[in-house]
Amino acid sequence: MIIDAHQHFWDPARADYPWMNAPELAPIRRAFGPADLAPLLKASGVDASILVQCRSALEETEEFLHIAHTTPSVVGVVGWADLTDGALGDTLDRLRASPGGDKLVGIRHQVHDESDPDWLLREDVQRGLAAVFARDLAYDFLVRTRELPAAIATAQAFPQARFVLDHAAKPPIADGGSAEWPDRIEALAACGNVWCKISGLATEAKWSDWDAERLFPFVEHVAKCFGKDRLIYGSDWPVCLLAGSYDEIKGALEACLAKVGASVREKAFGVNAKMAYRLG
């Protein structure tokens, strides 16, 4: 089974997405739902997907679980819940008991939008993470280079937990990279309990001037650090449409992974997602 482990649905007419207000994001400021993704998955030979949160709202998580309940191709949901809420455990139990709740596989928060680079290390956040892991859910790190030290400390604090790094921590590809990103990625990978999504890379490059060759050094680095068992493919659709079509994004990542090794490519397109998210 080939799995796209990172895609979104949204409708700006029905909810507010603060991150979507920038003028350059106008091309994706419209509704995207299961009917839009289905033909793209079929044309690209992708069997299933994992639906990932877009905004900090419990209502969205509930809606995504309902979509997963009625959409066979959605095999998992990485939702949002308030990690600082002392009653988070009760909230997670309620979500898991709802229709589609069996497809709740992880929780995510937009950490890179927090003003505090050490937000993950706050006592209330760490308590919330403990509630997530007590229910055998994964936690997705949505961080950039700035927040990687806190992510490393968090992964070390919960050695038995499962973490997934989204978008390889969004390396500044358009700027040619950074001095800190490679070492911090290596340190995070050394924790052993973190998987890394090869997703969202084209939109970190120059949208009108990128190709697989320009992405490859970054893919090669995370492949070296995380190994063949902890790399995961994700399209980041429909955000990826800012840089290219679904097929173009998938093709570029396939080309990069093929250069790293056939076994790496094979596991990244399904097997590793099943392990990271405990998919049935």
* All structural domains of the chain: 3-277 (3.20.20.140)
For residue 127, CA distances in Å to 120, 138, 147 come to 10, 15, 19
Query: Span 235-261, mean pLDDT?
Result: 97
For residue 240, CA distances in Å to 46, 179, 233, 246, 248 come to 16, 25, 13, 7, 10
pLDDT value at position 225? 98
pLDDT tops 90 at residue 191: yes
| Identity of the residue numbered 27 | P
Q: Are 204 and 243 in contact (CB under 8 A)?
A: no
Per-residue pLDDT reduced to its tens digit, 151-169: 999 999 999 999 999 999 9
pLDDT value at position 54? 98
Residue 12: pLDDT band with limits 50, 70, 90: very high
DSSP assignment letter at 205: S
Q: Are 163 and 194 in contact (CB under 8 A)?
A: yes
pLDDT tops 90 at residue 262: no
pLDDT tops 90 at residue 207: yes
Nearest CA among 243, 279, 247 for reference residue 167: 243
Residue 280: pLDDT band with limits 50, 70, 90: confident
Query: For the stretch 144-165, what's the b/e string if a residue is b when 16 or more beta carbons lie within 10 angstroms of its beta carbon?
Result: bbebbbbbbebbeebeebbbbb
Per-residue pLDDT reduced to its tens digit, 119-139: 999 999 999 999 999 999 999
Per-residue pLDDT reduced to its tens digit, 40-92: 999 999 999 999 999 999 999 999 999 999 999 999 999 999 999 999 999 99
pLDDT tops 90 at residue 97: yes
Would the pTM count as exceeding 0.75? Answer: yes
Mean pLDDT of the chain: 97
Nearest CA among 280, 257, 247, 241 for reference residue 196: 257
